[in-house]
Chains A and B, each alone.
Chain A
Amino acid sequence: MSSVGTMQPVPDQVRADLLRPLLRTSWKFYSLVLILGAIVVAALAAWATQMTLGFGISGIRWPIYWGFYVTNFVFWIGISHAGTLISAILRLVNAGWRRPVTRCAEVITAFALMIGAMFPIIHLGRPWLAFWLFPYPSERMIWPNFRSPLVWDFFAINTYLTGSVLFLFLPMIPDFAVVRDRATGMRRRIYGALALGWRGTPTQWHRLETAMQIMAVAIIPVAVSVHTIVSFDFSMAPVPLWQSTIFGPYFVAGAIFSGIAGLIIAMALLRRFLHLERYLHPVHFQNLGKLLLMMALLWGYFVFNERLVTYYGNRVSDMQVFWRTQRLTFAPLYWTMVGCNFVLPLVIMGISRFRTITGCVIASIGVVIGMWLERFLIIVPALGHKYLPYSFGVYRPQPVEIVITIGTFAAMALLYVLFAKFVPIISMWELTAVQHPGPALIPPATAEHPLGETHA
């Protein structure tokens, strides 16, 4: 069933395969939604309990005011770099192998940002006062302080979220039109509204592709700025090991690293459960695996820099936190992090024989765990061991925080499952467009040509 090469299905096949999950629903879908939904409800109940009984039921107390919640905030904002940034870069360089990958990736960004942005609100304790953070002049006469990194977060995350949602939505318009033409009743009206009257004129195609190019150019610096600004939440504060000029690029690299890992896991699950073997080839995982390897090396480079400079600086307060993570209380977590983020991907992704789908998934799971630990180890050891002994403290996460943390992973999975149920998870028109390559269009990746180069 191929028209070009041996691995590209014909357009009818593409539409049939990718619309199948939308038009048919199995009991597995309901079971999965039920399980994930139950975990999310448990997390919401935990949050409601925290609001009712007070923030005291969490483990967050003086001197460690940032615990699991801020760890999760930074982690999810990092995971969000999987999608839009990677997709935009691959789109700009016209990488042929990107087509089946981009939408899977962009969805991660939108949902991870939404979940990440929830945590400052959860962390407030009294979320109904969240609007106090918003930058608008009010009768309280406490106007927004633009010199605060928290206000920068507000602008950066909202810009990135808006851009990412639009970047995800625009290429979905032609696919919504396809679903509209096959649906009936209420579904037809909903998809018809989402398709915005798309017809497929040459002008519409041209404008859409131009818009995607502009969006790609705009979204890359925004993505970089978001995690740089998240790093400023730390590096602008006089806390041991935080005030570092390397934190901006270190956080951005870490975000892309965890983002790629999240993308690989999501793609592997989609491939297995939606039977997308025709579209998500081993070569896509190998390419992303190579990116993961590169980011593991970059992450190792940043960690080495950060540690070596601190070690030579030899400031008492810095070195106390340094040794707590290297040899003392937090050493098991620290060396687990190094193993997960550096050793594991280096071994699995560095040896081509192991760079299989299973290998990529194992390395990615390791990286996700390692990057969560990294966020935790940046926050907690430093806050618990500041300059003077009176400000030393211990953080013990409480059940409410653990349940909410688990709930966010379930929420991410639930949102992703629902999205894949209602929207084609791979852009159909971008896949079928490669059947008719124009002069500037590059064919998709194949086993023989992993980067999708033009191969005459």
Chain B
Amino acid sequence: MKAIYGLYTEGTAAQRAVDHLRAAGVADTDITILSPEPREDLAFSHMHAPTYMWWFACLGGLIGCATAIALVYITETSWPLVVGGLPIVAWWPNLIIMFELTMLGAIAATVITLVVSGGLARTRQGIYDPEVSSGSILVGVERPALAAIAAYEQALSTTPGARIKKI
């Protein structure tokens, strides 16, 4: 069996299902929860690892800045044209290029971190049910141990209105 999961129309029902799965001995990392929108009001929305996205954005900015310094310095010293009486390496105008590439680096790093840490654009995805995009919340366990399926099914179905599916 690939997975067992329940679909819930109410967020509180989904939260209860999560709590029952925890009580049945399932680790947080093994519980799959899919919701059609962020549910900041429920505890399960905080079941995720902390992110270092801000730090990666800073790192991307530093790389962008270093690239800009290298680009302007190497270019200007390789072809040392005097323009408008300014120095060959004129840092005031160069600051503009450095600023733009710093921000571009930060933006690029943020997007890359989102794609990688959010598990996007992967060829193998976990369980999914199109009803999630219609408003249901999915709570389930992937690749459950055969001996534990009955317990998981009971944990998921103790909430009224739950629709249990096995795939």
Binding site for B on A (CB under 8 A): 11-12, 15, 135, 137, 141-148, 151-152, 155-156, 158-159, 162-163, 166, 170, 173-174, 177-178, 180-182, 196-211, 214-215, 218-219, 221-222, 225, 229, 429-430, 432-433, 435-441
Contacts and interface: CB of A to CB of B under 8 A. Distances in A.
A206 B51 contact: yes
A93 to B, nearest CB: 17
Nearest to A163: B107
B37 A147 contact: no
Interface residues of B, number: 64
A199 B128 contact: yes
A117 to B, nearest CB: 15
B114 A202 contact: no
Residue from A147, A178, A181, A219 whose CB has the most chain B CB atoms within 10 Å? A147
B1 interface: no
B5 to A, nearest CB: 12
A209 B121 CA distance: 18
Interface stretch (B94-102, B150-158, B159-167): B94-102
Residue from A12, A135, A202, A222 whose CB has the most chain B CB atoms within 10 Å? A202
B133 to A, nearest CB: 4
A168 to B, nearest CB: 12
Given A432-B37, A438-B41, A439-B40, A159 B97 contact: no
B65 to A, nearest CB: 13
A15 B134 CA distance: 8
B103 to A, nearest CB: 5
Nearest to A429: B37
A334 to B, nearest CB: 32
B126 interface: yes
Nearest to B54: A214
A260 B109 CA distance: 30
A31 B48 CA distance: 49
Contacts of B40: 433, 436-441
A208 B37 CA distance: 11
A174 to B, nearest CB: 8
B57 A12 contact: no
A15 B33 CA distance: 21
B51 A207 contact: yes
A436 B9 CA distance: 13
